[in-house]
């Protein structure tokens, strides 16, 4: 099995389409450990939903590979506390004002 970065590098073309990658991974290996990323990669929504509801078994902190903790690596209640603080900074108006500077990602942020 290829590593996380190899699977992303396998797509040719000027614009990478992550959705094709996600579909392939959901079909071929929906849950797998990637040694390079030092993390479990999970590609099915229902599985992720189950995992989020059971932090005692599936902790984000358990596979921590970075030196400092990020929001993605936090479990509740710390995650919820920090997320509420961060969410206040990203008001609809701010996102709308920033979106034109973000190119295609800005269109996604604006729901276009």
Give the pLDDT confidence score for residue 26 in this predicted structure: 92
Confidence of residue 112 (pLDDT cuts 50, 70, 90): low
Q: Half-sphere exposure (CA, 13 Å, Cβ side) for 69?
A: 11
Give 31-85 pLDDT, tens digit per residue. Answer: 988 888 777 889 999 999 998 888 788 876 655 555 567 777 788 888 889 899 9
Q: Contact 29/1 with Cβ under 8 angstroms?
A: yes
- Two structure tokens written together for 15: 């614009």
The residues facing 33 across adjacent strands are: 40
- Two structure tokens written together for 22: 């996600």
Lowest-confidence pick of 20-24, 89-93, 95-99:
95-99
Confidence of residue 11 (pLDDT cuts 50, 70, 90): very low
In angstroms, the CA 47 to CA 49 distance is 5
Tell whether omega for the bond before 9 is within 30 degrees of 0, i.e. cis: no
In angstroms, the CA 41 to CA 28 distance is 12
User: What's this model's pTM, rounded to 2 decimal places?
Assistant: 0.48
């Amino acid at each position: 099995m290829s590593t996380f970065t190899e699977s992303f590098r396998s797509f040719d073309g000027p614009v990478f389409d992550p959705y094709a990658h996600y579909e392939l991974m959901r079909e071929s290996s929906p849950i797998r450990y990637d040694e390079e990323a030092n993390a479990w990669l999970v590609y099915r929504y229902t599985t992720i939903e189950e995992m989020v509801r059971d932090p005692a078994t599936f902790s984000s902190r358990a596979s921590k590979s970075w030196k400092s903790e990020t929001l993605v690596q936090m479990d509740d209640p710390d995650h919820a506390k920090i997320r509420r603080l961060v969410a206040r900074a990203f008001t609809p108006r701010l996102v709308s004002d920033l979106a034109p500077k973000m190119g295609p990602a800005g269109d996604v942020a604006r729901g276009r």
